[in-house]
Structure 1
Amino acid sequence: MPTPLPPAARAREELVANLMALPAIIGLVLAVLAFFNRGSGISGTPGAGLAILGMAALVLAAILVGRLSPGKLRTFVTVMILIGGLLTLICVWFLMQGWLMLTIALTLALWLIFILVAR
């Protein structure tokens, strides 16, 4: 059983996880706008729906990972953020949505910072 984290380390990890959720939230909003905007070229397509689901999963996972204590579940969620982010990035690349790709890249950059900060 892992030892509990000191409050300063716990707060630092939660802060980075919350920062990781911010570009994911912005990306979720952009994906929803692209899905419903008729001028986007991808409105109503299954790919745009997949981008919405991927971004929603990234938001939920980023918020969850900051609140979990170190262990197997947090490691699993952390790895799923990487896999989900990369797969969503590929999906958005095929949809040619540059701003959405940027938000995913920022989320993955903050994921790397979380890995470096986390114990």
Structure 2
Amino acid sequence: MPAYLSPPERAREELVANLMAVPAAIGLIIAVVAFFSPASGIEGTPGAALAILGMLALTVAALLVGRIHPGRLRTFITVMILIGGLLTLLCAWFLMQGWLMLTIVLTLALWLIFIFVAR
């Protein structure tokens, strides 16, 4: 049986989840630009495509996790955000994309705040 939250608690969780999606979306834009820009040094590489996929997944998951009621699915998505963020951070590190790494670190910092808010 799902646990229902009061409106202020629900609004707080949704706000933090939406804030978590902002750096993820910025990172998605950075990854797309790096994929298509010849000056990036990673133009058209599979690693750059993987970074795009990872940032897209982080953005969608961050938007989704704030709208789901507490339960198993939300816990699963929350853990997948952490795993996906860490793996995408590793991908960005191998691609030597500093700005992309910064957006992922900001996303994971907001993920930690979401964990504390969503107890």
If the TM-score is normalised by the length of the shorter chain, which range does it land in?
A: over 0.9
Please list the CA deviations of residues 2-24 of structure 1 after superposition, one character each: whole Å capped at 9, or x if unmatched: 33100000000000000000000
TM, length-normalised to structure 2: 0.99
> What is the identity, as a one-letter code, of the residue corresponding to 1:86?
L
Letter in 1 for 2:68: L
Q: CA deviation at 1:89?
A: 0.2
Partners of 1:76 and 1:4 lie apart in 2 by: 18
1:42 alignment counterpart: 42
5+ residue gaps, structure 1? none
Q: Provide the aligned length of Structure 1 versus Structure 2.
A: 119
TM-score by length of 1: 0.99
Residue by residue, what CA displacement relative to the aligned partner does 1:29-82 show, whole Å, maximum 9, x if unpaired? 000000000010000000000000000000000000000000000000000000
Runs of 4 or more consecutive aligned structure 1 residues displaced over 3 Å after TM superposition: none
Q: Is the 8 A contact 2:3 2:71 kept in 1?
A: no
8 Å CA contact 2:3, 2:69 repeated in 1: no
The question of 1:72 aligning with 2:77 is answered no
Alignment of 1:45-64 (within 5 A): 45-64=45-64
Structure 2: 5+ residue stretches without partners? none
- SS at structure 2 position matched to 1:67: coil
* 2:2 match: 2
Match of residue 88 from structure 1: 88
Root mean square deviation, CA, Å: 0.5
Alpha-carbon separation, structure 2, partners of 1:83 and 1:114: 15
The aligned counterpart of 1:25 is 25
